[in-house]
Every structure is written in C-alpha cells, then in structure tokens.
Amino acid sequence: MKCSLLIGILLANIFAYSQDKTGTLTNADLNIVSRLSTDLKENINLLQDTNGIALTKYLKAELVDEATYYAKMQTAISPIVYDNQRFKKTNGVTTLKCRDTVVTFTDIDSDGEDFKEHYYDSYLPALNQYIVKATYYEEYDYIYVDMNSGRQTSFNGSIPYLAPNKKMLLDVYHEPYENTVSFSLIKVGKKEFTTLISTEFKYWMPATDTASAPFWGKDGYFYCIAIAVEDKDKPDAAHQYVRIKLL
C-alpha cells in the first residue's frame, strides 16, 4: 500500500513538473509593459512607470509554437558581415578609414574606472556602418561608425537587430546586474538614429540561458525564446516562443 502511495505521489510530482515546464505565459500577458520611455518630437524623454499597461503602439508580441520558431529560424536574416581583421589595432589605437575622414579609438590600460578597450568587430552594408566593440570598466558598448561621414552612435551592450525593411532597428539589451531585458525601437534616418521607445515587458523577457539568439525572419517578424519574468533566476525556467510585429 505504501509503495503504491509513493508511486502515486511520484507520478503526480512528475506530471506537475512537466506541466510547469510547458510555460505559463499567454498572449494576454505579452504586451503588458512595466516601464516605457518615449522619445517625443520635441526630444523630451518622458519616462513612465506604466504599472502594467498594454502597449498598443509600435510593437505587438504573440506566442508561436516551437515548431514554427525553429522553422522560421531557417529563414533568419543576417545582414552583418563579420570581418574583424579588416582594421587591426596598433599600439592600442584602432583606426577606421571612412570616405570623408579617419576615425580613431584609443585604448586606456587601467585597473580602474578609466579602463577602455576597442576592437573593430564587423560592418553593416545595408546602413553603411562599421561596428566597433568598446569595453569599459564594468560595461561595454557597440559603436556604429558611418562609413562615409565617420559619425558615431553608441548602443549599450548589444548590436541592434536590423528589420527586413531596413527602416528600424530593434535593440535587445540584457542588464546583467538586475537580470532584466529592455527593448528599444530605433528609427533609421538618413544621418542619424532616433530611439522611438524603450520598454520592458512586465511578465516575460527573452531567455538568456540559450545559444539560440533572437532573429528577424524573412516574414518580417522578430523571433525570440521567452521565459516568465518570475522565473528569470531559475536555472530550469520553461521556454516559450514569441514573435514580435512592428506596428
């Protein structure tokens, strides 16, 4: 009798565990944001604590099944050309030759907050941008350098994903200390990049424990593996699959 009871409890626990592992996010959860920063035409940065308001402009997220996610991964767009030997560093100086100018990045060898190191990483032909990785004392940036003018634009901790229409960038930044992920939608202009919104979703975030990076599919959707925010510190958080559409 005891054996049967133990087996029953074990099976119940296994079933409950498998149910938990399927994930609990619903489509109704996905577009609720906990923070929203909007760049207005007057260049005023309006920071709002949304406290759980649905995002109805700019982006729309929805769940897809695992099979769809991996099928769309086969159509992933990879616009960046990785050629990190193109510009080699000399005596701590990285020199980029642009059409109209020469841009230099100088390293600072320090054990403190002044530390700074640069490497040429890649380039983005569609936007005519070199990409330089800059590592600092406790963080790092990716710097876009216009291949004609030499104009520089920094992105904190990640290379933004260029949308198939080449009119928008989606920056997905993982903040390691708080273990949060923010999304920034960036408009591509003729001479500069303009951040339209920066937001964090209240109930979900892209998984950071997987080798499968987010990607744009040829269908115009942005795909990522997601976990529930409440599970972000769990090593075995259930994975679900999300696609994002630009509105």
DSSP letter string over 52-80? SEE--SSEEEEEE-HHHHHHHHTT-----
Query: Domain check: are 74 and 177 in the same one?
Result: yes
Does any domain span residue 126? yes
Does any domain span residue 118? yes
Query: Domain check: are 145 and 172 in the same one?
Result: no
Angle, alpha carbons 148-42-47 (nearest 5°): 105
- Specify the range with the lowest mean pLDDT, choosing from 11-25, 56-70, 207-221: 11-25
Query: Domain check: are 138 and 73 in the same one?
Result: no
Q: What is the mean pLDDT of the chain?
A: 85
- Is the per-residue pLDDT at 19 higher than 60? no
At residue 226, the pLDDT reads: 95
Query: Domain check: are 88 and 210 in the same one?
Result: no
Looking at 112, 130, 158, which one is the last position of a domain?
A: 158
Query: Domain check: are 232 and 116 in the same one?
Result: no
* Count of domains observed in the chain: 2
Looking at 158, 173, 197, which one is the last position of a domain?
A: 158
Does any domain span residue 18? no
> What is the tens place of the pLDDT at every residue in 83-117?
988 998 999 999 999 999 999 999 999 888 889 99
Query: Domain check: are 53 and 118 in the same one?
Result: no
Does any domain span residue 172? yes
Query: What's the average model confidence in pLDDT over 123-133?
Result: 97
Does any domain span residue 33? yes
Helices within the chain (DSSP H only): 2-21, 27-30, 66-73
> What is the tens place of the pLDDT at every residue in 195-239?
999 999 999 999 977 778 899 999 999 999 999 999 988 888 899
Question: pTM for the complete prediction?
Answer: 0.82
- Specify the range with the lowest mean pLDDT, choosing from 10-24, 46-60, 95-109, 146-160: 10-24
Query: Domain check: are 146 and 164 in the same one?
Result: no
Six-digit token string for 125:
């032909």
Query: Domain check: are 168 and 236 in the same one?
Result: yes
Query: Domain check: are 181 and 100 in the same one?
Result: no
Does any domain span residue 7? no
Query: Domain check: are 63 and 185 in the same one?
Result: yes
Looking at 158, 175, 196, which one is the last position of a domain?
A: 158
Query: Domain check: are 73 and 114 in the same one?
Result: no
pLDDT range class, residue 15, cuts 50, 70, 90: very low
Query: Domain check: are 52 and 146 in the same one?
Result: no
Query: What's the average model confidence in pLDDT over 4-23?
Result: 39
pLDDT range class, residue 125, cuts 50, 70, 90: very high
Q: Name the pairing type of β-strands 45-48 and 215-216.
A: unpaired
- Is the per-residue pLDDT at 8 higher than 70? no
177 by Cβ neighbours in 10 Å (0-12 / 13-18 / 19+) ranks as exposed
Does any domain span residue 60? yes
At residue 12, the pLDDT reads: 38
Does any domain span residue 202? yes
- Domain of residue 130 covers 81-158
